[in-house]
Every structure is written in structure tokens, then in C-alpha cells.
């Protein structure tokens, strides 16, 4: 079970960049383009489990799995840890649990290790020597709270030279967002089936392919 606690309300790429992609210079459609950009971001986040915007998630589990191997500090197997369902993970913030009397408690995250692996979701596992607290038997005995995201766009005002917006969002995801905004802008009603739409879908799939992490299917 997962639940998004919060998400940044700041776009991770500039409205000016979206308007340049659409060859729009006026400001009459700014609010509508912002709405389309958020719609595109929502689609990609749901499609890839990627957090384009900084957000905080809670994920519940009946237990914390097994501990890391001694001496090496490495984990036994990805199947022995708690797979975090959203990425990129920035920090593991809290670990809550229901004690044997079914009362809420907090488990110190110093007893946990956050593991990252290329093309696999991040995992949380008990550190070697740590003891899992006795919890009440329920599907959400433990709840991990963690922060994810690529960060917000940084805006720099440079006097007469105008405004520069720098985004830490990977170029592929930036372009995927703008492709979706362009599609939504051109097809304001239900899209018709055709070669243009098919070509857009193929290009979008190729852009998103590197961000569809293994281990979720």
C-alpha cells in the first residue's frame, strides 16, 4: 500500500520552455498550458513510477524483511528487502509501526539501510545487528516514509539578459513532458487514431523506456 503525502506545486521545467517547444509567444494560454503540463507530468509519473516533482510517499508492509549480510554490509537478495515503489529516492525519512498492543510507534531509521541499484528500484533493509521490533499482525504493520524527485527548476534572473531556468530533470523526461503537452494542445478533444498519433506514441515510448525501472512487473 502506498500513499503520496505531498508533492511540490512548482513545475520542474519552465513554462517558457514549453511555449518555445509549441512555438507560442503570447501569454493568453499560459494557465491552460500549465494545466496541460501538470497533466503530462501525472501521466508519466503513473506510467513509470518516477517522481518528476519532489514528493513524499508512505509505503506500508507487514514486515521489514531480513538483515544485511555480516561483514560485507551487502544484502542477501532484492527479494529480502522492501522494494520502494517510487524513484529516484532522496532520503528515507521515517519508519512507523504498530506495536504488539496495536499502538503507533516510530522505529529509528538508523537501523535501516537504503540500497540503490542500477535499473532496479531502491530497497530498504535492516542493518546487520539491528532487531526488528515486535509488531501487531496487520498488513500495514510497518510504514516507510521517503522523499523522491529530481528537484525543482532553479530560476536565475540576469538583469538585461532576462531569466534563465535550469532544471535537474533529465533531458529525456523533459522532452517527453513537452511531447505530451504538444499532443494535448493539438488534440483538445478525444484524439483520432492515425499515423501522427502512432508516431507520437512510438517516440514517447522510446523516451520513457530508460525510466521504466526493472522489478515492478
Q: Quote the pLDDT of residue 78.
A: 54
Task: Report the alpha-carbon distance of residue 99 to residue 138 in Å, rounded.
Answer: 10
Q: What is the mean pLDDT of each run of 10 residues along the chain (217 residues)?
A: 90 86 89 94 91 94 75 51 89 96 96 79 88 94 94 55 63 90 81 56 84 64
The Cα 3–Cα 64 span in angstroms is: 18
User: How confident is the model at residue 14, as a pLDDT?
Assistant: 83
pLDDT for the residue 200: 65
User: How far, in Å, CA of 109 to CA of 124, rounded?
Assistant: 10
Q: pLDDT value at position 73? A: 47
Per-residue model confidence (pLDDT) at position 39:
94
DSSP class per residue in the chain: -EEEEEE--S-SS-HHHHHHHHT---STTHHHHHHHHHHHHHHHHHHH-B-SS-EEEEEEES---PBPPTTT---S-GGGSEE-SSBSEEEEEEEEEEBTTS-EEE--GGGEEEEEETTEEEEEEEPTT--PPPB-SSTTSEEEEEEE---PPEEEE-GGG-EEEE--S-HHHHHHHHHHHHHHHH--SSPPPSHHHHHHHHHHHHHHGGGS-TT--
| pLDDT of 203 | 82
Amino acid at each position: 500500500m502506498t500513499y503520496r503525502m505531498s508533492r511540490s506545486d512548482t513545475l520542474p521545467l519552465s513554462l517558457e520552455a514549453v511555449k518555445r517547444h509549441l512555438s507560442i509567444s503570447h501569454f493568453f494560454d499560459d494557465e491552460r498550458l500549465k494545466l496541460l503540463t501538470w497533466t503530462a507530468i501525472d501521466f508519466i509519473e503513473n506510467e513509470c513510477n518516477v517522481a518528476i516533482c519532489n514528493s513524499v510517499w508512505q509505503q506500508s508492509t507487514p514486515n521489514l524483511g531480513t538483515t544485511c549480510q555480516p561483514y560485507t554490509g551487502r544484502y542477501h537478495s532484492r527479494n529480502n528487502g522492501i522494494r520502494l515503489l517510487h524513484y529516484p529516492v532522496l532520503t528515507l525519512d521515517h519508519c512507523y509501526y504498530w506495536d504488539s498492543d496495536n499502538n503507533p510507534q516510530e522505529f529509528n531509521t538508523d537501523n535501516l539501510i537504503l540500497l540503490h541499484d542500477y535499473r532496479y528500484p531502491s530497497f530498504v533493509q535492516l542493518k546487520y545487528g539491528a532487531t526488528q521490533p515486535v509488531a501487531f499482525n496487520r498488513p500495514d504493520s510497518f510504514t516507510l516514509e521517503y522523499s523522491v524527485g529530481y528537484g525543482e527548476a532553479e530560476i536565475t534572473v540576469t538583469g538585461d539578459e532576462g531569466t534563465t531556468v535550469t532544471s535537474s530533470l533529465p533531458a529525456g523526461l523533459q522532452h517527453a513532458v513537452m511531447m505530451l503537452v504538444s499532443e494535448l494542445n493539438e488534440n483538445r478533444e478525444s484524439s483520432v487514431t492515425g499515423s501522427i498519433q502512432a508516431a507520437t506514441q512510438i517516440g514517447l515510448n522510446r523516451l520513457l523506456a530508460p525510466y521504466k525501472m526493472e522489478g515492478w512487473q
